[in-house]
Amino acid sequence: MFKIVDDMEILNEALATAITSFDFSFCISVNVLTYIINKTLTDIKGSHVSTWGKRLVLLISIAVISTVWYFTKQDLRLIINSAILAPVFWSWVVKPAFKKFNIDYKVD
- pLDDT confidence of residue 105: 59
Tell me the pLDDT band of 4, cut-offs 50, 70 and 90. low
pLDDT confidence of residue 48: 85
105 CB contacts (<8 Å, ≥6 apart)? 35, 38, 39, 42
Q: Of 60, 57, 80, which is closest to residue 69 (Cα–Cα)?
A: 80
pLDDT score, position 21: 85
The answer to whether the beta carbons of residues 22 and 81 sit under 8 Å apart is yes
Q: Looking at the predicted structure, is the pLDDT value of residue 106 above 70?
A: no
In this predicted model, what pLDDT tens digit does every residue of 33-75 receive, in sequence order? 998 999 899 989 888 889 999 999 999 999 999 999 999 988 8
* pTM, two decimal places: 0.77
- Amino acid 108: pLDDT: 47
